């Protein structure tokens, strides 16, 4: 297809597609004339992936490019690919702080204790360690008596979630598709999983406080 059709089918403006091409986020099409190129379904899929990363979760174009390069390079190695995906955090204030350039992991003693208690095998470089320690520090700064032990029941449930995730991923055979799904299932699914927790919290609250309690509403 021509770039105009790629634009129409993806809903991404022509100028934006050209920008992604210049920045190397989107591989070039097959040249059919000096100023024309043909694009195919792989371009369409890649374009949608770019939009998902930059739009839905707010990654910068530069971060999206890093992710996509990594996906292309390691799509045939699920384990390595997941290691890359774990490094993606949305660009909100809660993302892990930048690391020292020497590669030394910051000290995250609570994550270490939790990983140890769970018997998990997790790299020192997984940024999720830092998120755990930061969150717990914030909670205690707010006077909440909460440490890594309080996270253990959640960690047990996370382990079961991870088995669903990996089962689903192993059912995909095409390497590029598997790479994409790893990104989608880790990164894009997160808001939905938090939404499920909130739905379940409301139900649990209704169950405990009875139908006569004032219903949660808009505010």
Which one of residues 12, 25, 141, 175 is an interface residue with a copy of itself (CB under 8 A)?
Answer: 141
- Is residue 68 a contact residue for a copy of itself (CB under 8 A)? no
Structure-token match 């790629």, residue found:
6
- Is residue 92 a contact residue for a copy of itself (CB under 8 A)? yes
Span interacting with a copy of itself, options 1-9, 15-23, 31-39, 120-128, rule CB under 8 A = 120-128
- Is residue 131 a contact residue for a copy of itself (CB under 8 A)? yes
User: Do the beta carbons of residue 71 and residue 84 sit within 8 Å?
Assistant: yes
Q: What is the DSSP code string of the chain?
A: --HHHHHHHHT--HHHHHHHHHHTSS---EEEETTEEE--HHHHHHHHHHHIIIIIS---HHHHHHHHHHHHHHTT-HHHHHHHHTT---SSTTSPPPPPTT-PPPP-HHHHHHHHHHT----TT-THHHHHHHHHHHHHHTT----GGGGHHHHHHHHHHHHHHHHHHHT--SHHHHHHHHHIIIIITHHHHHHHHHHHHHHHHHHHH-TTSPPP---
- Is residue 102 a contact residue for a copy of itself (CB under 8 A)? no
- What's the alpha-carbon Rg for the chain, to the nearest Å? 21
Which one of residues 5, 23, 170, 174 is an interface residue with a copy of itself (CB under 8 A)?
Answer: 170
Which one of residues 39, 151, 178, 179 is an interface residue with a copy of itself (CB under 8 A)?
Answer: 151
Q: For the CB of residue 136, give the shortest distance to a copy of itself in the complex, in Å.
A: 7
Size of site (CB under 8 A) for a copy of itself: 100
- Is residue 132 a contact residue for a copy of itself (CB under 8 A)? yes
Q: For the CB of residue 5, give the shortest distance to a copy of itself in the complex, in Å.
A: 17
- Is residue 139 a contact residue for a copy of itself (CB under 8 A)? yes
- Provide the greatest CA pair distance for the chain: 72
Which one of residues 15, 34, 98, 142 is an interface residue with a copy of itself (CB under 8 A)?
Answer: 142
Span interacting with a copy of itself, options 1-9, 18-26, 29-37, 211-219, rule CB under 8 A = 211-219
Q: For the CB of residue 92, give the shortest distance to a copy of itself in the complex, in Å.
A: 4
Which one of residues 30, 33, 79, 100 is an interface residue with a copy of itself (CB under 8 A)?
Answer: 79
């Amino acid at each position: 297809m021509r770039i105009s059709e790629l634009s129409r089918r993806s809903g991404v403006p022509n100028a934006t597609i050209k920008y992604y091409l210049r920045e190397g986020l989107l591989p070039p099409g097959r040249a059919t004339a000096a100023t024309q190129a043909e694009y195919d379904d792989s371009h369409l899929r890649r374009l949608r992936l770019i939009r998902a990363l930059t739009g839905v979760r707010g990654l910068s174009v530069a971060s999206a490019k890093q992710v996509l390069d990594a996906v292309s390079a390691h799509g045939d190695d699920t384990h390595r690919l997941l290691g890359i995906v774990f490094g993606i955090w949305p660009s909100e204030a809660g993302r892990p702080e930048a690391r020292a350039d020497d590669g030394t992991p910051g000290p995250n003693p609570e994550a270490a204790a939790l990983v140890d208690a769970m018997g998990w095998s997790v790299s020192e470089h997984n940024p999720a360690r830092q998120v755990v320690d930061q969150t717990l520090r914030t909670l205690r700064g707010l006077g909440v008596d909460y440490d890594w032990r309080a996270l253990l029941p959640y960690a047990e449930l996370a382990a079961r979630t991870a088995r669903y995730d990996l089962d689903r991923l192993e059912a995909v055979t095409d390497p590029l598709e598997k790479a994409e799904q790893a990104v989608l299932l880790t990164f894009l699914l997160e808001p939905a999983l938090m939404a499920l927790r909130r739905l379940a919290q409301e139900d649990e609250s209704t169950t405990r406080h009875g139908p006569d309690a004032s219903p949660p509403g808009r505010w």
